[in-house]
Amino acid sequence: MKKKDKNIYICQSCGYNSPKWMGKCPECENWDSFVEEMMQPKNDSGPLRGVAHVQARPVPIDSITLEDEIRTSTGINEFDRVLGGGLVSGSLVLIGGDPGIGKSTLMLQALYGLSLQNLKVLYVSGEESIRQIKLRSKRLGTIGPNILVVSEIDLDSIISMVNSEKPDVLVIDSIQTMFNSDLSSAPGSVTQVRESAMRLMIMAKKTGIPTFIVGHVTKEGAIAGPRLLEHMVDTVLYFEGDRSHVFRILRAVKNRFGSTNEIGVFEMKEKGLDEVPNPSAVFLSERPSNAPGSVVTTSMEGTRPILIEIQALASATSFGNPRRTILGLDQNKVALLVAVMEKKLGLHLMGHDIFMNVAGGVKVLEPAVDMGIVAAIASSFLDRPLPKGCIVMGEIGLTGEVRAISHIETRVSETWKMGFTRCIVPKSNVKRMTEVEGIEIIGVNTVIQAVETLF
């Protein structure tokens, strides 16, 4: 080893550097996450190697001329919605999700939609051979002459290939398999992922080629590699859903060119992912009628209201400590609302196990579903179903008050479209909204009034 070479230990979860090995990372508090890596002197060209570099000069911001940004459609409306209307030139998009959730399938279908617009697209796979990609494309029906595929992990070769082929869109699948020959660490390490993403970002900005980066996720659900990876890219998308469910949700958690609240809903079929233009109808299609513990409420995902079914089961516990099993909802929020029901409604829930689920595998964190949670638990505890055609929505505070929610008219309009005739909403919202013909709107101030109205 040369004298100027130096070994350091890097946390593979957060990228924290240490001159010596430690059992627990002081930054992210993960155990046994430090790996020894050799630090080599930086190349003069650094991450700019392979990309033409021109010295930039600062200019006054008011002298910069702007043109209307033309976005490129991927041919998948749900995907375009999450991106903010389509692809922006030179953008770097990171897509993460569990193994087998459909990330590579979505990328191939998006590239096929772009190739139909006479755009040349390049799909770089570090995990599959070109024959395997062809087999999958044949099954999905995404074969076209404008789709170029290559199996490569060397980043220098990939950048050289981009400079020679000049594709209109680039996909890297996945960033954890990319290898930078300047670094001695193995592919997938924090250093390799960070440097590879940096070089791809610089290339995308210099050439104007929209670039998709597919990333693996850890067992905690975060994208593997340093947190810096999410800061470098323009858009971060998470592909959510259980592999046992047919529905997949594409959610934006960061987007410099659009809203971060939009979601795209897909259905996994034999020939790939199909768009779901009306998620409310799909999520409510198998809802049981006149069943205690089943409540419908609304959740705003960006500009789109979605009707979801919340299910609850309250049963007497046979153990000393009652169980709380929650799927699709915030467990702390449910515990808080159960305490409010104990205090304000006098329901003895401490002696009952409570199980809750959002039908369809959806995850909902919006405060407007508080009323739905309370109504579902009360319905199961009292063994009384909600009145037919009734829907509830509203935020509940610690003192039992029902607070106003946003986009109330949009939510009620979607409720009317789905055939509901009665809507329980916060009273403060009723004062500011116009009447909707065909649906009865009832305003409540407290959780006591809401439960008395429903049961």
Percent helix, strand, coil in the chain, to 5, is 30, 30, 45
Cα separation, 142 vs 400, in Å, equals 54
Q: Which residues are annotated as a binding site for ATP?
A: 97-104
Choose the CATH number for 282-454 among 3.40.50.2020, 3.30.930.10, 3.30.230.10, 3.40.50.300. Answer: 3.30.230.10
Q: pLDDT digit string (tens) for 189-239?
A: 788 888 899 999 999 999 999 999 998 876 665 665 556 788 889 999 988
pTM, 2 dp? 0.74
Conformation bin of residue 290: beta by default, left when phi > 0, alpha when psi is -120 to 50: left
pLDDT for 222 equals 64
Q: Which residues are annotated as a binding site?
A: 97-104
Which residues, listed in sequence order, are joined to residue 236 by a DSSP beta bridge?
A: 94, 254
Q: pLDDT digit string (tens) for 372-386?
A: 999 999 999 999 999
Q: Residue ranges of the domains in the chain? A: 6-39, 72-277, 282-454
Q: pLDDT digit string (tens) for 40-95?
A: 555 545 555 555 555 678 889 888 887 767 889 999 999 998 998 899 999 999 99
Q: pLDDT digit string (tens) for 245-276?
A: 778 889 888 899 888 777 888 988 888 899 98
Which residues have C-beta within 8 Å of that of residue 33, sequence separation ≥ 6? 11, 12, 13, 25
Query: Does CATH place domain 72-277 in 3.40.50.300?
Result: yes
Joined together, the tokens standing for residue 96 give 């993460």
HSE (side-chain half, CA atoms, 13 Å) at 5: 10
